Amino acid sequence: MANIDTTKEAILEVGHDHGHDDHHDDHHGDKYQSSFVTRYFFSLDHKMIAKQFLFTGMFWAVIGAAMSLVFRYQLGFPEADMEWLQPLLGRWIIVQDGMGSLDPEFYYALVTMHGTILVFFVLTAGLSGTFSNLLIPLQLGARDMASPLLNMLSYWFFFLAGAIMFSSLFVSTGPFSGGWVAYPPLSALPQAASGSGVGMTLWTLSLVFFVVSVLLGGVNYITTVLNMRTKGMSMWRMPLTIWAFFVTAIIGLLSFPVLVSAMLLLMFDRGLGTSFYLSEIFIGGQALDYVGGSPILYQHLFWFLGHPEVYIIILPAMGIVSEVLSVHARKPIFGYKAMVFSILAIAVLSFIVWAHHMFMSGINPFIANIFVIFTLIIAVPSAVKVFNWIATLFGGNIRFTSAMLFAIGFVSMFISGGLTGIFLGNSAIDIQLHDTYFVVAHFHIVMGVAAFFGMFAGIYHWFPKMFGRFMNETLGKIHFWGTLVGAYAVFWPMHYLGMAGVPRRYYRFDTFDFSSSPGFDTMNQFITIAAVIVFALQILFIINFIISALKGKIVKDLNPWNATTLEWTTPTMVPGHGNWPGAIPAVERWAYDYGKDSDDGKDFISQVTPLKEGEHDGGGH
């Protein structure tokens, strides 16, 4: 991989990247740069595109989380009068005898939209999109991405995907309501659910545009990492953030196209009457013409993306956390190479475990054996990462900034959620846990909350780089402690529901005796109230974000966290397009020389400081 070397000549050849302001050859010269539109909307600057991803991600996070409050309200207080929500939700609140209740169809639409939005728009685009864009060029010492134009298009395709998804919320038959996995036949037949009509068409369209966005971004990230590193930045000197973004992009690039194929076949089944996924269906009083299709084929194709997707979500968070832990513990990340190899191992394994989502779908039980083995092997690199993070704290000199707190919270969440994966990956145990609240608890903790924690750590840590100001640390700490306790309060009890066998995606639990044991309704109310509090804390975070961006404490020190990496070597806190007005600094050492005395009396040595005589690079012996 490393033999495609950075050559400055290569970059100069096209000439799009040799100065900080005239960055693109033919279409976008200097004169467009100052215009408001190109600066804030059709910007080619990776830092602005990163902010666009972040803002859009935050917008979607609020929408997605607000949706979860509505269905949590239903689950916690199924008998409550919801009429007061009618001004907001309109006909989806059914009013009968003066009592308003949530339309079950809309409940499922909310669950579906919540999943789709959070998985794709927030935790993929909002997390990987934001930080890959912000950090890849800055930490590698590049002026911008390999192709700023594709980068910009990547954002706008994401925006378009979002706009289409948003519009689906307003169609008369409602948004898609068949779960974020969109299993046919439910997703293929408008007769099966009203959301499977226009709502599903828009959902599919939106996801296809989203895939285009991911691919454009991914192509760029991979190319930039392999070709545009500054002098001296060998692959083994890259910060773990970059390794994580790089591998994430590769995973995305190889798995998302498969989703397009799956969607393509689904569209043919929906619109043109082919039978890829459908067979022998009798619905709405009539037998349909489909014969010979297999719904399981869709599940295979979907999870071939779907499983790597969870690593697409969690790897960037892992990268960010590794970096933040190291900087604020003032220690090199423990076992740098082991960290890289475990990222690579996770990436490879992520492609051969998809059928563990399908143990109960009717696949051959023998095939399940293979997937159990690979699935549980993933626990090994994941465990290595956890031990390395903990070891990084050992002997440190820890600064509890908000970023650091969230990084530590991430490790806790990752442990809690990761360990429950060992239950679910074991097909025998999965028989009773599959599609219960145990699964909901597992993935919300390990890839929902944990990924959010990684994202928060990143935002608090690189906020100065984005806005030249600090975020309010006191509010940051309130945000952290509240969210840590609150998130556990929301998701931990769900394990117990799952262990009692309560299935997920239930509109109410009192239809069965086993799902309405005494105490469960109190537990559901508790979860709902905790969710409301956690949501309020995120609003607090957004307020803090906005106020700090506008009026926060200005960063005076160019390297406020005393970090070694290149992004803190720019001569201005918020660099202009091109990042370094002068020459790009060359890299002389790895990214983790913390806890080493520098010549100027600091406890770290920047990546641009040459190695001393006899000094080993990378902490080697």
Partner 1 sequence: MQLVGQVPLKKKRNKIHPYKFALWVACAAIVMMFAALTSAYMVRKSGGNWLEFTLPNVFYINTLVILLSSISIHGAYLAFKKNNHKLYKILLSGGAILGLTFVTLQYQGWQELIAQGIELKTNPSSSFLYVISGLHLAHIIPGIVAIVLAFIFAFIRKQEVTPLSKLRLELVVHYWHFVDFLWVYLFVFLLLQ
Partner 2 sequence: MTTVIIITLALIAIIVVQIGRLIELSASIRGEEEAEQEANNRNAWGMLVFLFVFLAACIYSSAYYAPTMLGYGIEAASEHGDSLDQTFNITLVLTGIVFIITHILLFWFAYKYRRKKGKKSIFISHDNKLEVIWTVIPAVVMTFLVISGLETWNEVTADIQEGEDYTEIEATGYQWAWIIRYPGADNLLGTRNFRKINTANNPLGQEWEDEKNLDDFHPNDIVLPVGKKVRVRITARDVLHNFYLPHFRLKMDAVPGMPTYFVFTPKYTTEEYRQILKDNPSYQGPADETEPDGKKRWEAFEYELACAELCGKGHYSMRKVVRIVSQEEYDAWLKEQTSFYDQNVKGKAGVDPLLSVSHDDHGHEGEHHDEEAHEDEGHEAEGEHSEEAHSDEEHNEGGH
Residue 39 or 508 having the CB closest to partner 2 = 508
Residue 51 or 270 having the CB closest to partner 1 = 270
| 236 touching partner 2, by CB under 8 A | no
Q: Which of 20, 39, 300, 505 binds partner 2 (CB under 8 A)?
A: 505
Nearest by Cα to 619 from 413, 392, 464: 392
Touching partner 1, residues 39-98 (CB under 8 A) = none
| 602 touching partner 2, by CB under 8 A | no
| 256 touching partner 1, by CB under 8 A | yes
Question: Do 607 and 564 contact (CB within 8 A), yes or no?
Answer: yes
Closest approach, Cβ 216 to partner 2, in A, equals 32
Say which entry of partner 2, partner 1, none residue 478 contacts (CB below 5 to 8 A, set by partner kind). Answer: partner 2
Closest approach, Cβ 56 to partner 2, in A, equals 23
| 583 touching partner 1, by CB under 8 A | yes
CB proximity list for 470: less than 8 A, separation 6 or greater: 463, 464, 548, 552, 553, 554, 555, 560
Task: Classify residue 480 as exposed, middle or buried by CB count within 10 Å of its CB (0-12, 13-18, 19+).
Answer: buried
Per-residue contact flags (x/-) with partner 2 for residues 472 to 491, judged by CB under 8 A: xxxx-xx--x--xx--x---
CA 294 to chain centre: 31
Q: CA distances (Å), 110 to each of 34, 65, 114, 505, in order? A: 42, 10, 6, 11
**Of 38-46, 56-64, 116-124, 510-518: span binding partner 2 (CB under 8 A):** 510-518
CB burial string 213-229: b at 16+ within 10 A, e below: bbbbbbbbbbbbbbbbb
Touching partner 1, residues 450-489 (CB under 8 A) = none
Q: Please, what is the Cα angle at 338 between 333 and 339, to 5 degrees?
A: 55
DSSP state of 552: S
Site for partner 1 (CB under 8 A): how many residues? 63
The token pair at 196 is 């499977």
d(CA 111, CA 145): 36
Nearest by Cα to 423 from 411, 410, 436, 412: 436
Question: Do 387 and 402 contact (CB within 8 A), yes or no?
Answer: no
CB proximity list for 330: less than 8 A, separation 6 or greater: 396, 397, 398, 399, 562, 594, 595, 603, 604
| C-alpha R_g of the chain | 25
Say which entry of partner 1, partner 2, none residue 215 contacts (CB below 5 to 8 A, set by partner kind). Answer: partner 1
DSSP secondary structure string, 563-618? --SGGGGSSSSS--TTS-SSPPPPP-S-S--BSS--TTS-SB--TTSPPPTTPPGG
Closest approach, Cβ 249 to partner 1, in A, equals 9
First to last CA, the chain: 25
DSSP state of 118: I
d(CA 128, CA 130): 6
| 99 touching partner 2, by CB under 8 A | no
Say which entry of partner 1, partner 2, none residue 274 contacts (CB below 5 to 8 A, set by partner kind). Answer: partner 1
| 224 touching partner 1, by CB under 8 A | yes
Touching partner 1, residues 101-130 (CB under 8 A) = none
| 309 touching partner 1, by CB under 8 A | no
| 562 touching partner 2, by CB under 8 A | no
| 223 touching partner 1, by CB under 8 A | yes
Q: Which of 28, 46, 47, 143 binds partner 1 (CB under 8 A)?
A: 143
Q: Which of 102, 228, 404, 450 binds partner 1 (CB under 8 A)?
A: 228
Residue 417 or 578 having the CB closest to partner 1 = 578
Residue 107 or 221 having the CB closest to partner 1 = 221
Say which entry of partner 1, partner 2, none residue 255 contacts (CB below 5 to 8 A, set by partner kind). Answer: partner 1
DSSP secondary structure string, 315-343? HHHHHHHHHHHHHHHTSPPTTHHHHHHHH
Say which entry of partner 2, partner 1, none residue 572 contacts (CB below 5 to 8 A, set by partner kind). Answer: none
**Of 64-72, 141-149, 352-360, 371-379: span binding partner 1 (CB under 8 A):** 141-149
Q: What is the binding site for partner 1 (CB under 8 A)?
A: 3-5, 7-15, 17-20, 25, 143, 146-147, 150, 215, 218-220, 222-224, 226-228, 231, 253-258, 260-262, 264-265, 268, 272-276, 289, 291-294, 297, 300-301, 304, 581-584, 586
